[in-house]
Amino acid sequence: MTEPFPDELTDAPSVVVERFDRSLHDISHFSCGEPSLDAYIHRMLERDELDRTAVAYVLVRRTDAAPVRRVLGYFTLSSYSFSKRQARRRDRDRYLGAYDPVPAILIGRLALDTNYQGRGLGVELLVAALNEALAVSQQLGATAVVVHALHEHAATFYQHHGFTRFRDMLNHLYVPLETFVQGLRA
């Protein structure tokens, strides 16, 4: 069972995203209410990192002075590609580049501890994931970010924040990195 967080945390804390490091980050209490995402961080993440199939980033409180900081949220990034015909025509022509399949970055998992949900931190986590993906795209070409939503509730969360559903897989969504960059400039 997840330990409650201290009462002083009733407001959204000041948070920061860091590359996951088991020696610096405490995941023992982490629970987001979605069993597969809890099982992933506790039991499967290490294997995926060793296999180089995913890398994880974690959300921690900036002010957490503990030697091993408690993880409030996490996401993973992996390389990915998809067929151009899965995307909307307006994006295919304007934002997804000249090649098919389209080079992309996958946010494989994204989850926030239940004690922190519903106060804007999920959006912070998503924006952090998009910023990391943007940084990766400076090293290895990618024109879009993809998410695999576990359920309709998650899909509407991503859609609400600018993702578009693939034409053939409605729980898989994408956003062109260029439209994310334009949003940052606006």
Residues carrying an active site annotation: 158
For residues 165 and 131, is the Cβ–Cβ distance under 8 A? no
Q: What number of other Cβ atoms are within 10 A of residue 93's Cβ?
A: 10
- Does position 9 interact with ligand COA (CB under 6 A)? The reply is no
- Count residues near ligand COA (CB under 6 A): 22
Taking CB under 6 A as the criterion, the residue among 18, 34, 48, 49 binding ligand COA is: 34
Distance of alpha carbon 90 from alpha carbon 172, whole angstroms: 18
Closest CA to 166 of 137, 141, 135, 145: 145
Give 44 or 93: the residue with its C-beta nearer to ligand COA.
Answer: 44
Binding letters toward ligand COA, positions 111-130, x by CB under 6 A: xx----xxxxxxx-x-----
* Cross-strand bridge partners of residue 58: 18, 74
- Residue 39 in tokens: 């099982």
| Residue located via tokens 């912070």 | 124
Q: Tell me which of 15, 27, 37, 71 binds ligand COA, using CB under 6 A.
A: 37
Residue 160 found at the interface with ligand COA (CB under 6 A): yes
Residues 32/112, Cβ–Cβ less than 8 Å: yes
For 112, the 3-state DSSP assignment is strand
Number of continuous H segments (helices) and E segments (strands) in the chain? 6, 9
Q: Which of 3, 21, 28, 33 binds ligand COA (CB under 6 A)?
A: 33
* Residue 78: its H or E element: strand 73-82
13 binds ligand COA (CB under 6 A): no
Q: Minimum distance from CB of 152 to ligand COA (Å)? A: 8
Q: Does 156 bind ligand COA (CB under 6 A)?
A: yes
Q: In the range 55-114, which residues lie near ligand COA by CB under 6 A?
A: 110-112
Q: Figure out which of the listed residues 56, 87, 146, 149 binds ligand COA, where binding follows CB under 6 A.
A: 149
Residues that bind ligand COA (CB under 6 A): 32-34, 37, 110-112, 117-123, 125, 149-150, 153-154, 156-157, 160
